[in-house]
Amino acid sequence: MATVPEAPQPSRKQGYTYGLDGFTVNKIHRADPARLRYLLLPQLTQGVRAKKAAEEEAKRIIKKPWTVAQLHHYGIKTNSKVTADGARDLLSRSVAGGLKQSNEHRVFESTRVAREFNALDTPTAQAQYSIDMFLRRYFLDENGKPEQSKTREPVALPGFDNRAQMHAAVEPIPGLVSESGGDGRERTVVVGWRDTGVGRVAGQIKREQRSMQEHTAKAAWDQLRRKHEDFAKLSKTPDANETFSFSNAWGQYIIKCEAADDYNDLDQTSKLRLRITKGKDGWYGIFDFGILSGIMLLGKSPEDVTFRVHQQQVGPRSDERDSESDEESDEHDIPTKKRNAPPKRSEAQPSKRLKKSASPGGVIYLQWRGQETGEKVIQVDPSNKNIGKLVFSDNTGMTFHGTASMSFLGSKVRFQGYKISGLGGPVTRSWDQYSKAAYERARVARWR
C-alpha cells in the first residue's frame, strides 16, 4: 500500500479554515482549476455529451455563495456588493486567464486527497470519490495520457451512480470506451480499452441480472403457489351433488398471465391479483394485472352481465353516463354516444339471491373497465368488447382458467387463477371510475 504523508493539523489562516476535510470558506471547499474550467467554461469541454453534462452540472452548482467562496480561495479581490453575475464573470475571466493556487493549498489538498483516495479498496468507491483520479489510476499515465498497459481488462463499477458523468469523462480519451449493462438500480457502467470486450462484459452483466431476477420471480411465485396449496387443503372436498355458485368464488386469487408479463417487470409477475367479492347490486372482480388494472362486472350468463352494464349506465350517477348525446366519437379512443337497447328483464335480470345462483359448468362471465397503469390511460370500451369468462375447475372455486378480450394485451388473453384467501374484501373501485367522463377528465388533465 502506498505511503501517505501525515496531514497538517487543523488551523485558521487569512480568513479561511482548513483541516482534514480541506480548506473551506463558509463551509464551501475550494474547487481545483480544472474543475472551475469545466463548470465555468463548458464550451471548451471536448465531446458533445461531456459539454452537456458540464452545462447541467454548472446550473446546479454555481450560485453566488459558491462563486464568492472560490474568489476568496484564490485570493481574487472583490467587494461585498458584487452581484451573482458579476462574481461569476470575474471568476470566469480569472479561470480563462489562468489561476494560481498557494503552495499551502496545493500541499494540503494533495495530501488529504491522496490519503482518502488510497484508503478506498474498490474501483467503484474510487470512481465515486473522483472520476478523474479513477481514470488516472487505471488508464492514464502521470502526464494524463492514455496508457493501455496499465489495465488491460475492462473495469466494471457496480453501484456507481453517476454513469452519465463517467461516459462524458471517458468520451474524449483516445481508445477508451464505456458501456452500461443491466437495468434499473442494478445498471452498471463498464470502462475499458476498445476491443478488450467492454460490450461483452456489459452484456454479461445484463444476462446475469436477468437470470437473478428470473430466479427471484420464480421463488416468489413458488411461495405463492404453496400458499394456494395450503389454503386448498383447508377447504372442503368437492361434493359431486353440489353445484357451483358465486359464493364458491368469493376470495382472492393470484394470477398467472403471460400476455401481461410481456409488459410487466419481472418483479411484478408475482403480484398479479383478482379479488372476487359481492357489492350491493351484484358480484364484482377487482383486478390488478400489473400493466392493467380495473373492475369487472360478473354474471352467471352473458345476458346477466349485459343487463348489469346497462344498469350501471342508467343508474343514479347520471353525470357519469357513457352516453347522453348523439355526438359521434372515435371508436378507438372514447366510447360512442349511442346506447344499446337494454336486454329484456326476463333474459338478463340477475337473481336476487346471487349467492345461491348456480353458474352452469362452473363458469362466471365478465365485462371489465380499467386503465393502463403506466400513463394512467383509461381503456374505454365503446363497442362492449371487454368481455370474457372464468371457467372453474370444480365447485370449490380453488382454481380457474380465464379468457378475455383485454385491450392492448390481446383479444383472447388467457390467464389462470389460484385462490389464496376466502376473503374478497370491499368493492374498492366503481364502474363509473373508468367511464367516458372520467376518461375526458384525465385526458384534459394530462395536457394542463
233-251 pLDDT tens trace? 887 766 666 788 899 999 9
Given a cut of 80, whether residue 104 has pLDDT beyond it is: no
Query: In this structure, which amino acid lies at residue 48?
Result: V
Query: In this structure, which amino acid lies at residue 113?
Result: V
Given a cut of 90, whether residue 77 has pLDDT beyond it is: no
Which pLDDT score is estimated for 108?
65
* Residue whose C-alpha is closest to residue 181's, from 156, 213, 161, 216: 156
Q: How far apart are CA 67 and CA 86, in angstroms?
A: 10
Query: In this structure, which amino acid lies at residue 349?
Result: Q
Q: How far apart are CA 179 and CA 196, in angstroms?
A: 12
Contact 134, 127 (CB under 8 A): yes
Query: SS3 letters for 166-199?
Result: HHHHHCCCCCEEEEEECCHHHCEEEEEECCCCHH
* Residue whose C-alpha is closest to residue 274's, from 135, 419, 385, 149: 419
Worst-scoring range by mean pLDDT, 14-18, 110-114, 327-331, 395-399? 327-331
Contact 371, 378 (CB under 8 A): yes
Contact 322, 330 (CB under 8 A): no
Rounded to two decimals, what is the model's pTM? 0.58
Distances 102 to 68, 78, 108 between C-alpha atoms, Å: 18, 18, 10
Query: SS3 letters for the chain?
Result: CCCCCCCCCCEEECCEEECCCCCEECCEECCCHHHHHHHHCHHHCCCHHHHHHHHHHHHHHCCHHHHHHHHHHCCCCCCCCCCHHHHHHHHHHHHHHCCCCCHHHHHHHHHHHHHHHHCCCCHHHHHHHCHHHHHHHHCECCCCCECCCCCCCCEEECCCCCHHHHHHHHCCCCCEEEEEECCHHHCEEEEEECCCCHHHHHHHHHHHHHHHHHHHHHHHHHHHHHHHHHHHHHCCCCCCCCCCEHHHHCEEEEEECHHHHCCCCHHHCCCCEEEEEEECCEEEEEEECCCEEEEEEEECCHHHHHHHHHHHHCCCCHHHCCCCCCCCCCCCCCCCCCCCCCCCHHHHCCCCCCCCCECHHHEEEEEEEEEECCCCEECCCCCCCCEEEEEECCCCCCEEEEEECCHHHCCCEEEEEEEEECCCCCCCCCHHHHCHHHHHHHHHHHCC
Phi first, then psi: what are they for 418, rounded to 5°? Answer: -130, 120
Q: How far apart are CA 309 and CA 167, in angstroms?
A: 55
Predicted confidence band of residue 320 (pLDDT cuts 50, 70, 90): very low
Contact 271, 286 (CB under 8 A): no
369-388 pLDDT tens trace? 999 998 889 998 888 999 99
Given a cut of 80, whether residue 48 has pLDDT beyond it is: yes
Which pLDDT score is estimated for 372?
93
Predicted confidence band of residue 185 (pLDDT cuts 50, 70, 90): confident
Work out the average pLDDT over 306-321. Answer: 71
Mean pLDDT of the chain: 82
- Count of other CB atoms within 10 angstroms of residue 414: 14
- Tracing cell 462484459 back to the chain, one arrives at 201
145-163 pLDDT tens trace? 999 999 999 999 999 988 9
8-18 pLDDT tens trace? 444 444 455 55
Torsion of CA 261, 262, 268, 273, to 10 degrees: -30
